[in-house]
Structure 1
Amino acid sequence: MQRQVGHKEDRKLRARRRADRTIWFGLGMFGLIGWSVAIPTVLGIFIGLWIDENWPSRYSWTLMLLIVGVALGCANAWRWIHEESQPDRD
């Protein structure tokens, strides 16, 4: 019983510390995560197009670097979400 009460109190204290996180904070985080995926993806496409134009080969560097950019962007987004979902450490 005492452990449950302590756990609930910790949750309430964490919620009070995060009270400043409004809808605008959530929308800003949504935009940040979107850009963290979009920028590496677009950079991968442009670099791939440049490589394909200057050094033609039977492999599509654009497609390969698109996939690499999406993977890097998703890893970056996961890191942001993971950091924000961790409880505050004082």
Structure 2
Amino acid sequence: MNRPRNEHQKRQGTFQQAVKDKADRKMTARKEGDRTIWYGLGMFGIVGWSVAIPTLIGIAVGIWLDAILNDPYSWTLMMLFFGVIIGCLNAWYWVQRESRDE
């Protein structure tokens, strides 16, 4: 006769734990507030553009240098590389800044 009561208590305990976990998740979501899908898309855009713009500027400068200087080196490739490096550092900065604001 003790067995059904123990099963009932186990189920009730797991149910209470599930309700508590769900309430904790809701409270965490409310504390974060503005962390919606739009926030995520905005961050994705900031990171994307912070890499793309320096890369495109590097390519443009490289093409310009290749036209002016008659070197055996490809300035376009070198400036592309530097633009990507600067863009990645820029993206890292933005991500770190947003992580500190949490």
| Shorter-chain TM-score tier | 0.7 to 0.9
User: Does residue 37 of structure 2 align to residue 23 of structure 1?
Assistant: yes
- 2:90 aligns to what? 76
Number of residues of Structure 1 aligned to a counterpart in Structure 2: 77
User: Does residue 55 of structure 2 align to residue 41 of structure 1?
Assistant: yes
Code of the residue aligned with 1:40 in structure 2: it is P
More helix by share: 2
Residue 87 and residue 39 in structure 1: after superposition, are their counterparts in 2 closer, same or farther (change >3 A)? closer
**TM-score, with normalisation over the residues of structure 1?**
0.76
Unaligned runs of at least 5 residues, structure 2: 1-26
Deviation at 1:17, TM superposition (A): 4.0
Where relative contact order (Cα < 8 A, 6+ residues apart) is larger, the structure is 1
- 2:19 aligns to what? none
**Root-mean-square deviation over aligned CA pairs:** 1.9
Unaligned runs of at least 5 residues, structure 1: 1-12
Structure exhibiting the larger radius of gyration computed from Cα positions: 2
Q: Partners of 2:97 and 2:31 in 1: how far apart?
A: 16
